[in-house]
Amino acid sequence: MTNLLASPPFAPRDDAGFLNGMDEICRWHLAGCPEYRRVWPDWSGATRLADLPFLHVGVFKRQLWKTAVPGITHQRTLRSSSTTQTSASMIALDGRSSALQGESSAAILKELVGDAMRPLVILDSAQSLRQRGEISARITAAMSLRFLASEIHFVLNDVEAEVGWDHLLPVLARHQRLLVYGFTWILWRAWATGQIPQPVRAALAQTEVHFVHSGGWKKLEAARVDRIQFDAALLATVGPASRVTDYYGLVEQVGVIFPLCEAGYYHVPRWAGVLVRDPWTLEPLADQPGLLQFMNILSWGAPYHSVLTEDLGRLLPGDCACKRCGQQFELLGRVPKAETRGCANV
Amino acid sequence: MSEKIHFFATPHRCTAAILPFDLEERLKHWASLRFKMVKHVHENFTRDEWAYLVAFLDEANLRKPFQESFGESVTGGPAQPAALLRPRGLIGIWLPNNVSLLGSLTLLLASFSGNPLRVKAGSGAGDLTAAFVDYAIQNLPDGKLADYLRQCVRIERFDRQDPRNHQMAAEAMVRVVFGSDQAVSAIHALPHPPNSMGISFGNHRSEAWVEKDALTDERLTNLIRVFAMYGQAGCTSPRRVVVLDGSDEDALALQKSLVRLWPKAVRADVPMHKASQNIMELQLALAQGWHATSAPRSGALVAAGRIGLPEPTGLMSLPVVSASLNEAVATLATNIQTIGHCLRDPHDPQWLGLIARTPAKRFVPIEAMHHFGPVWDGGNFWRQFFEEVELQS
């Protein structure tokens, strides 16, 4: 199973090895999670990814799933950011999976931002770390970059959720390269359109910054901000050779990062997989838009290794211009919601 | 406004009602609108909603409030009415968000009282009441009904904090409030005229009771159609189906029949987000121990199981359980509104005794579960739109 992690994330895929790994992890959860077994009572094996068991992403909002097997110790619960009106997903983290997930995200992030150590500036508040027993998806995403951090600075203040530029100035005085992580809409609001004091602005103009963001575009789409505007606004604040990297990820696939390449497609690491399913029949779709399903061989503490999402996407056949190998997909937004009408007690 | 005295009679009592319109003309005008409605579905309404409105505008249905409240209409005037009814005054109607046809239907019934109306529509959703009134004004023949809708019906959209709630409560002689129990209480707690009436339509749920020997494919198809119209969002939709005196196998057999008949009963696909939600609900129901199956093309979740399992709560989730009569009664929700039945002999006197032991407000064939009328939630609310004057010679 872990052999897949031994090669670079976007090296040529080992499809048979991945299917075997998924088969093993499915059997593991069927043996250790009674609720999961009740959902898939008749499953006995698969000869293709489309026949593997999966759970709908919404079930993680309604109950905490756990696989109780010797050797698995559940630790904290990871909670989604729940920026929309829906409730938060809950993922039971465990030591074994966390190690693999850390290894996975580090390998992918290295591929994206290089392995040079530099200060990591996180657009979040330090307060977010101080929750006992739980950890937010936002902080998990930010902290996945800590292996590249020579020092870490949380720069969003707790009260106004604005960047504390005063704290950034001494960091800029000491370093010419920075890594900055933020949720997409926070980066836009607090940095790209924030009021940057002149001394900070001047220092930033001399600094090479690599912005990394995730979390989705829903709020920015509502504000009619597209990727070109977003990148341009961020890069206008910093020095030459700065870059912006966007990736897609979801709390129910923690540890797996799907980077957006220069050609505009998201790429799947070799220890993960993606399927697109017809929303009504669940039949797998080769190149038509449908519901995205993600799989990975990292998640052993609860059956979130194969998750049908409510994100719409399309698989892209062939090779990508960016030269990464493996599966690639296009993200087409969320399943459209319509008004539900009924009686007074809706 | 010219007024006309109308007379109604039962074998034992005559009633006069003074109305600011001619009843036959009003019926004729609504009928003419109905004729136009059958030709084209309004874009704001679903096909089912529009069809229901068309059916509601049937003349025989529109006469029912008078028949059920006062008796048959009689011409010429009986010798001695025992009561005179007169419109009570402004009716305030509070509608919540996402409400389907209740606003339009209440407005239709209220139009036969002649009272002016002020309607507060939900602030966060499409407003079908205003859409229907606009359509009616555009398509009705010139006359008193069109004038009434234009001049005496005011529809506004605002939220529960808006000061206009106070204004409405202060001036309405009848408050008709749809919404959560909390919202209903809040409106009735606003200062209001001491002689005004409050009518509450709060949180309710409904269910279907069936006997396996009474089930046919036709009746099951009707049950599916009734459920599928609103799913669990309708207070008159069945939240569960109870197979009376059935076994676990009977519940499973019914589940299979429902799934088999679903595509015949509901031909259109559910929207994508509902299909997705049905997949989620299916997995949750299975995890909780239900024998759950998806209707074709993820159109719904039908789950068979035992009373006591946590009920699936998805919009298009229909649980089926078997229960003895006593279990069925004991596990009824306290806010039960309608029990839709499919029984071998619904006229059997045992049902009267049984229903008397429940808080149910309606016991009607499954096909009639959504049928709104002047008697609702335990009383004849339409009659309250009138003030009654006792007459003695």
B373 to chain A, closest Cα gap in Å? 15
At residue B301, does pLDDT exceed 90?
yes
Position of tokens 């359109």?
A193
Domain harbouring B276, CATH code: 3.40.309.10
Minimum-distance CB partner of B276 among A36, A335, A342: A335
B233 touches A at CB < 8 Å: yes
Looking at the domain assignment, is residue A341 inside a domain? no
Q: How far apart are CA B25 and CA B319, in angstroms?
A: 46
Per-residue pLDDT at A345: 39
Q: How far apart are CA B54 and CA B85, in angstroms?
A: 29
Beta bridge partners of A306: A295
Q: Could you tell me if B102 and B237 lie in one domain?
A: no
pLDDT band at A160 (very low <50, low <70, confident <90, very high): low
Q: How far apart are CA A95 and CA A73, in angstroms?
A: 6
Q: How far apart are CA A248 and CA A257, in angstroms?
A: 6
CA distances from B3 to A241, A277, B113, B144 (A): 84, 64, 12, 12
Average pLDDT of span A58-82: 90
Q: Could you tell me if B260 and B172 lie in one domain?
A: no
A240 to chain B, closest Cα gap in Å? 45
Q: Could you tell me if B196 and B261 lie in one domain?
A: no
Between helices B47-56 and B102-110, what is the axis angle to 10°?
20
Per-residue pLDDT at A339: 67
A85 touches B at CB < 8 Å: no
Looking at the domain assignment, is residue A343 inside a domain? no
Q: Could you tell me if B269 and B324 lie in one domain?
A: yes
- Total structural domains within chain A: 1
Q: Phi first, then psi: what are they for A49, rounded to 5°?
A: -60, -35
Residue with the larger pLDDT of the pair A222 and A265: A265
Position of tokens 């200062």?
B191
Range name among A133-142, A145-154, B140-149, B208-217 with the lowest pLDDT average: A133-142
Domain harbouring A94, CATH code: 3.40.50.12780
Contact A342 B204 (CB under 8 A): no
Looking at the domain assignment, is residue A248 inside a domain? yes
Contact B277 A58 (CB under 8 A): yes
Please provide the DSSP assignment of B343-372 as one string.
Answer: -S-TT-HHHHHHHHTS--SEEEEGGGTT--
Beta bridge partners of A77: A92, A134
Looking at the domain assignment, is residue A344 inside a domain? no
Helices (H), ranges, A114-188: 137-143, 165-174, 184-186
For a pLDDT cut of 90, what percent of chain B falls above it? 92
Looking at the domain assignment, is residue A122 inside a domain? yes
Residue with the larger pLDDT of the pair A340 and B118: B118
Q: What is the mean pLDDT of chain A?
A: 91
B268 touches A at CB < 8 Å: no
Cα three-residue angle B267-B268-B269, rounded to 5 degrees:
125
Q: Find the closest chain B residue to A54 by CA distance.
A: B283
Closest CA to B91 of B56, B115, B120: B115
Q: How far apart are CA B336 and CA B204, in angstroms?
A: 6
DSSP, res B269: P
Per-residue pLDDT of A229-275, as tens digits, reads: 999 999 999 999 999 999 999 999 999 999 999 899 999 999 999 99
- Total structural domains within chain B: 2
Minimum-distance CB partner of B280 among A58, A340, A342: A58
Q: How far apart are CA B52 and CA B233, in angstroms?
A: 17
pLDDT band at B232 (very low <50, low <70, confident <90, very high): very high
Q: Could you tell me if B279 and B339 lie in one domain?
A: yes
Per-residue pLDDT of B161-182, as tens digits, reads: 999 999 999 999 999 999 999 9
Q: How far apart are CA A242 and CA A244, in angstroms?
A: 7
Looking at the domain assignment, is residue A340 inside a domain? no
Per-residue pLDDT at B93: 97
Q: For residue A49, what are the domain limits?
A: 2-333
Q: Could you tell me if B140 and B239 lie in one domain?
A: no
CB B242 within 8 A of CB B339: no
| Pairing assessment for the beta strands A208-214 and A243-248 based on DSSP bridges | parallel
Report residue B51 as tokens. Answer: 């069809």
Per-residue pLDDT at A4: 87
CB B214 within 8 A of CB B343: yes
A341 touches B at CB < 8 Å: yes
A60 to chain B, closest Cα gap in Å? 10
Q: Could you tell me if B10 and B107 lie in one domain?
A: yes
Domain harbouring B57, CATH code: 3.40.605.10
Report residue B264 as tokens. Answer: 């015949």
Q: Could you tell me if B273 and B144 lie in one domain?
A: no
At residue A287, does pLDDT exceed 80?
yes
Q: Could you tell me if B189 and B68 lie in one domain?
A: yes
3-state secondary structure of A126: helix
Per-residue pLDDT of B260-287, as tens digits, reads: 999 999 999 999 999 999 999 999 999 9
A336 touches B at CB < 8 Å: yes
CB B144 within 8 A of CB B61: no
At residue B2, does pLDDT exceed 70?
yes
B236 touches A at CB < 8 Å: yes
At residue A131, does pLDDT exceed 70?
no
At residue B364, does pLDDT exceed 60?
yes
Per-residue pLDDT at A346: 33
Q: Strand runs (DSSP E) across A9-107, as ranges?
A: 55-56, 74-79, 90-94
Q: How far apart are CA B381 and CA B174, in angstroms?
A: 10
Range name among A339-343, B32-36, B41-45, B133-137 with the lowest pLDDT average: A339-343
Q: How far apart are CA A142 and CA A185, in angstroms?
A: 14
Contact A343 B178 (CB under 8 A): yes
Q: Could you tell me if B210 and B138 lie in one domain?
A: no
Question: How far is residue B106 CA from its own chain's centroid?
Answer: 9
Q: How far apart are CA A331 and CA B276, in angstroms?
A: 17
Looking at the domain assignment, is residue A283 inside a domain? yes
Q: How far apart are CA A24 and CA B123, in angstroms?
A: 52
A39 touches B at CB < 8 Å: yes
Q: Could you tell me if B326 and B218 lie in one domain?
A: yes
CB B56 within 8 A of CB B105: yes
Average pLDDT of span B322-326: 96
Q: What is the mean pLDDT of chain B?
A: 95
Q: Could you tell me if B197 and B216 lie in one domain?
A: no
**CB neighbour burial string for B101-136, b if at least 16 within 10 angstroms, e if fewer:** bbbbbbbbbbbbbbbbbbbbbbeebebbbbbbbebb
At residue A91, does pLDDT exceed 90?
yes
Per-residue pLDDT of B71-114, as tens digits, reads: 999 987 656 899 999 999 999 999 988 778 999 999 999 999 99
Per-residue pLDDT at A344: 45
At residue A1, does pLDDT exceed 70?
no
A35 touches B at CB < 8 Å: yes
Contact A345 B180 (CB under 8 A): yes
Per-residue pLDDT at A215: 86
Q: For residue B195, what are the domain limits?
A: 4-202+377-390
Q: How far apart are CA B203 and CA A275, in angstroms?
A: 42
Closest CA to B281 of B325, B231, B238: B231
Looking at the domain assignment, is residue A137 inside a domain? yes
